[in-house]
C-alpha cells in the first residue's frame, strides 16, 4: 500500500457509536442524516433485561437495540445497500481494509473496547460492539474517526488488529462494513413511519423482559435485591443499571433524549404536529430516568452501607421505575396513533 | 434536560481529555447537543465497579497465596475478564480453564498451554507463575 492515504472525511462527534458511524458515513456520501434520525429510523430505542447473562458479574439491561440492528434496519428502510465482511484471518482483514482506503472508501469497523488505548483506563471493559470509521493511513498508523470522541485519533497496525479480533461475547471477527449503493433520493417519511411503528411494537410487546413490561420486571427485581443478594451485591447491581442507562453513548436518560430529538426532527420534516408534542413528553420521561439515576446513586454512594433504611430506599427507586413504565406505556400507545 | 443543565461534574473522562455528547433542549425547546465533562451519579457507579474489580483481584491474590487457586485466576481478574472471556481468548473450553485454576493441575501444565495464557495476558511464562 502507498505510504500515505488520507481520505477527505469529516469527523462529527455523536453520542452513540453505531448511529455515529452511520450518520458520518452518510454525510461523507452526500446525504445529510443526523444521529437522532439514524437512531429513530433504525428503531434504536429499547428496554430489555437479558436474563442468564452477566456482564462484570452483574445483570444486563440494555436501553437500545442489539449491536448492528440499528444499522441494518436503517439501511433496509432507506434503501441503502451495505457490504459487510467478517474475517478469520487478521492479515486478510488488514489487506481488505487497505484496499478500501486506497479506493478512497472510508469504512466502518466493529471493535472491542478493552484494548482501545485512547479510551480512559476506567472505561476499558470487554465490550465488543463498539464502532469506528477508518479514513486513512499515515506513517504506518490507521487514522480513526471514533464517533464518541471529540477529535480524530490513530492506531498502529498491531493495535487495530487487536481490537478487530477481540474475543468474547459479540466478537467482531474483523467485521468491516460500508455502503455500496444509495437510492436516488432519500425518502425519509416512509422510513420514519416504519421506524416508529417498530419501536412502539417492541416497547409494548407482551413479553416480560422487553419494553414497558421489562421495566416493571426490573423494578420488581430491584425490590428483591437487598434481601436476596445482600446490600453490597444489590448496590453493585443497581450501579450497573445506572451505568447501562447513562454511560457514554446514550446521550442521557437511556437514549430517551436522542429519541425525543428524533421525534422533534421528524415532526418538522413530515409536518406532523403530534410528533413535536410527543417529543416534549419524551423529554420529560427522559428527565424522570435522570431523576431515577440520581436517587439510585444516593443508595450506592456508600458501597457497603447496610441498614434497614437501605431496603426502603430500594423500594422507592423501584417505585420510580414503575411510574416511568406507566408513563411510557401511555406514551407509546399515543405515538402509535400519531402516525 | 435543558442545555444549561447538562452536567459538568468531575469524572474519569478528564484523564483522556475528552467530553461526551449529550442531547438537550435550548431555551426555545429545540433539540441541540452539548458536551459534558461527566455526571456524578455515573462517576460513582463507575468508581464502585472499579472498586468491585479491585476487590476481586485482591481476593484472587489472597487465594493464590493460600494455595487455593492458580495465578491464572488472578491474572484473569487483573484483566477484567471472566472465565467465558478468558476461555475464548485462549481457545479452550470453559471447564478446562476452570480446571487450570486448581494449583495441582496448574503445576503440571505443559509449556505451550502456559504460553497461551501468557500471550493473552501479554506477560512471560515466568510472570504468569508469579503474582505481584
Same domain, A282 and A242: yes
Interface membership of A293 toward B (CB under 8 Å): yes
Q: Which residue from A minimizes the CA distance to B86?
A: A168
Q: Which residues of A108-124 are buried (b: 16+ CB within 10 A; e: fewer)?
A: bbbbbbbbbeebbebbb
| B45 vs A119, A125, A243: nearest CB | A243
All residues of chain A having their beta carbon less than 8 Å from the beta carbon of residue B50 are 122
Same domain, A176 and A192: no
Indicate whether A43 belongs to any domain: no
Indicate whether A217 belongs to any domain: yes
Predicted confidence at residue B92, as pLDDT, reads 97
Coil/strand/helix, residue A285: helix
Full residue range of the structural domain in which residue A253 is found: 188-338
Tally of domains within chain A: 2
Interface membership of B116 toward A (CB under 8 Å): no
Among A61, A65, A63, CA closest to A38: A65
- Last-in-domain residue among A181, A197, A216: A181
Inter-residue contact A269 to A192 (CB < 8 Å): yes
- In sign, the C-alpha dihedral spanning B115, B117, B119, B124 is negative
**Whole-angstrom distance, CA of residue A110 vs CA of residue A126:** 13
Cell of B6: 447538562
**Whole-angstrom distance, CA of residue B62 vs CA of residue A182:** 59
Which residues 172-231 of chain A have a CB within 8 Å of chain B?
none
Torsion of CA A239, A244, A249, A254, to 10 degrees: -100
Q: What is the ipTM of this complex?
A: 0.93
Query: What's the longest Cα–Cα distance across chain A?
Result: 67
- Last-in-domain residue among A133, A161, A181: A181
Predicted confidence at residue B16, as pLDDT, reads 74
Residues of chain B with CATH 1.10.260: 48-129
Predicted confidence at residue B125, as pLDDT, reads 96
Interface membership of A305 toward B (CB under 8 Å): no
Predicted confidence at residue A66, as pLDDT, reads 86
Same domain, A164 and A198: no
Same domain, A111 and A159: yes
Inter-residue contact B103 to B68 (CB < 8 Å): yes
Class of the domain covering B48-129:
mainly alpha
Predicted confidence at residue B11, as pLDDT, reads 87
Same domain, A217 and A156: no
Residue B66 pLDDT class (50, 70, 90 cuts): very high
**Whole-angstrom distance, CA of residue A65 vs CA of residue A174:** 21
| A257 vs B23, B81, B84: nearest CB | B23
The pLDDT tens digits for B88-107 are: 999 999 999 999 999 999 99
Among A163, A154, A137, A156, CA closest to A145: A154
- Would the CB atoms of B85 and A294 count as touching at under 8 Å? no
**Whole-angstrom distance, CA of residue A248 vs CA of residue A271:** 32
Query: Alpha helix locations (H) across chain B?
Result: 40-65, 71-78, 83-90, 94-100, 103-107, 111-121, 125-129
> For chain B, first and last CA: distance in Å?
46
Which residues 246-265 of chain A have a CB within 8 Å of chain B?
246-249, 251-253, 257-258, 260-261, 264-265
Coil/strand/helix, residue A147: coil
Indicate whether A66 belongs to any domain: no
- Would the CB atoms of B1 and A286 count as touching at under 8 Å? yes
The enclosing domain of A142 has a CATH number of 3.90.70.10
Indicate whether A106 belongs to any domain: yes
Indicate whether A53 belongs to any domain: no
- Would the CB atoms of B1 and A252 count as touching at under 8 Å? yes
What are the Cα distances from residue B19, in Å, to A17, B9, B10?
14, 11, 11
- The whole-number average pLDDT for the span B9-35 is 91
Q: Which residue from B minimizes the CA distance to A118?
A: B16
Interface membership of B3 toward A (CB under 8 Å): no
Those residues with Cβ within 8 angstroms of residue B127's Cβ, 6 or more apart along the chain or in another chain: B118
Indicate whether A71 belongs to any domain: no
- Last-in-domain residue among A149, A181, A213: A181
Size of chain B in residues: 132
Indicate whether A73 belongs to any domain: no
User: How many angstroms away from the CA of A2 is the closest CA of chain B?
Assistant: 31
Same domain, A232 and A174: no
Those residues with Cβ within 8 angstroms of residue B18's Cβ, 6 or more apart along the chain or in another chain: A149, A150, A151
All residues of chain B having their beta carbon less than 8 Å from the beta carbon of residue A258 are 23
Q: What angle do CA A22, A170, A27 make, to 5 degrees?
A: 5
Same domain, A165 and A205: no
Same domain, A273 and A228: yes
The pLDDT tens digits for A273-284 are: 999 999 999 999
Same domain, A161 and A262: no
Size of chain A in residues: 339
Q: Which residue from A minimizes the CA distance to B1?
A: A287
**Whole-angstrom distance, CA of residue A74 vs CA of residue A71:** 5
User: Mutate which of B2, B3, B21, B28 to disrupt the A interface (most A C-beta within 10 Å)?
Assistant: B21
Interface membership of B44 toward A (CB under 8 Å): yes
Predicted confidence at residue A305, as pLDDT, reads 65
> For chain A, first and last CA: distance in Å?
51
Predicted confidence at residue A302, as pLDDT, reads 77
Q: What angle do CA A232, A238, A250 make, to 5 degrees?
A: 150
Q: Which segments in chain A show pLDDT lower than 50?
A: none
Predicted confidence at residue A306, as pLDDT, reads 63
Arithmetic mean of pLDDT over chain B:
94
Amino acid at each position: 500500500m502507498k505510504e500515505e492515504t488520507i481520505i477527505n472525511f469529516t469527523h462529527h462527534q455523536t453520542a452513540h457509536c453505531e448511529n455515529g458511524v452511520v450518520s458520518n458515513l452518510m454525510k461523507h456520501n452526500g446525504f445529510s442524516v443526523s444521529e437522532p434520525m439514524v437512531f429513530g429510523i433504525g428503531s434504536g430505542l429499547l428496554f430489555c433485561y437479558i436474563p442468564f447473562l452477566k456482564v462484570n458479574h452483574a445483570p444486563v439491561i440494555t436501553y437500545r437495540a442489539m449491536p448492528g440492528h440499528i444499522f441494518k434496519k436503517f439501511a433496509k428502510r432507506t434503501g441503502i445497500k451495505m457490504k459487510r465482511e467478517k474475517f478469520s484471518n487478521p492479515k486478510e482483514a488488514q489487506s481488505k481494509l487497505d484496499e478500501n482506503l486506497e479506493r478512497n472508501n472510508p469504512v466502518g469497523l466493529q471493535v472491542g473496547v478493552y484494548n482501545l488505548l485512547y479510551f480512559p483506563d476506567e472505561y476499558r471493559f470487554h465490550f465488543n460492539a463498539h464502532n469506528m470509521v477508518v479514513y486513512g493511513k499515515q506513517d504506518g498508523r490507521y487514522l480513526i474517526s471514533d464517533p464518541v470522541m471529540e477529535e480524530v485519533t490513530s492506531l498502529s497496525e498491531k493495535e487495530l488488529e487487536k481490537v478487530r479480533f477481540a474475543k468474547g461475547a459479540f466478537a467482531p471477527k474483523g467485521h468491516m462494513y460500508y455502503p455500496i449503493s444509495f437510492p436516488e433520493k432519500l425518502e425519509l417519511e416512509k422510513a420514519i413511519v416504519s421506524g416508529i411503528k417498530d419501536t412502539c411494537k417492541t416497547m409494548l410487546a407482551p413479553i416480560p423482559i422487553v419494553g414497558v413490561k421489562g421495566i416493571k420486571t426490573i423494578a420488581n427485581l430491584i425490590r428483591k435485591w437487598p434481601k436476596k443478594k445482600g446490600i453490597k451485591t444489590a448496590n453493585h447491581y443497581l450501579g450497573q443499571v445506572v451505568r447501562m442507562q447513562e454511560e457514554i453513548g446514550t446521550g442521557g436518560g437511556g437514549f430517551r433524549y436522542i429519541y425525543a430529538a428524533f421525534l422533534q426532527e421528524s415532526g418538522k420534516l413530515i409536518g406532523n404536529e403530534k410528533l413535536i408534542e410527543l417529543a416534549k413528553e419524551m423529554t420529560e420521561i427522559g428527565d424522570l430516568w435522570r431523576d431515577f439515576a440520581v436517587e439510585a446513586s444516593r443508595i450506592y454512594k456508600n458501597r457497603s452501607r447496610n441498614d434497614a433504611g437501605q431496603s426502603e430506599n430500594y423500594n422507592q427507586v423501584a417505585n420510580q421505575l414503575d411510574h416511568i413504565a406507566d408513563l411510557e406505556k401511555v406514551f407509546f400507545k399515543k405515538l402509535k396513533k400519531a402516525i | 434536560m435543558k442545555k444549561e443543565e447538562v452536567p459538568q461534574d468531575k469524572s474519569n473522562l478528564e484523564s483522556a481529555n475528552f467530553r461526551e455528547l449529550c442531547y438537550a433542549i435550548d431555551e426555545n425547546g429545540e433539540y441541540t447537543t452539548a458536551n459534558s465533562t461527566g455526571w456524578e451519579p455515573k462517576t460513582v457507579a463507575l468508581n464502585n465497579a472499579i472498586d468491585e474489580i479491585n476487590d476481586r483481584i485482591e481476593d484472587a491474590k489472597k487465594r493464590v497465596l493460600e494455595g487455593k487457586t492458580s495465578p491464572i485466576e488472578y491474572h484473569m481478574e487483573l484483566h477484567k475478564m471472566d472465565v467465558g472471556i478468558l476461555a475464548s481468548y485462549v481457545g479452550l473450553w470453559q471447564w478446562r480453564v476452570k480446571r487450570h485454576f486448581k494449583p495441582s493441575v496448574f503445576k503440571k501444565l505443559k509449556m505451550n498451554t502456559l504460553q497461551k495464557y501468557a500471550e493473552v495476558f501479554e506477560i512471560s511464562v515466568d510472570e504468569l507463575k508469579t503474582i505481584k
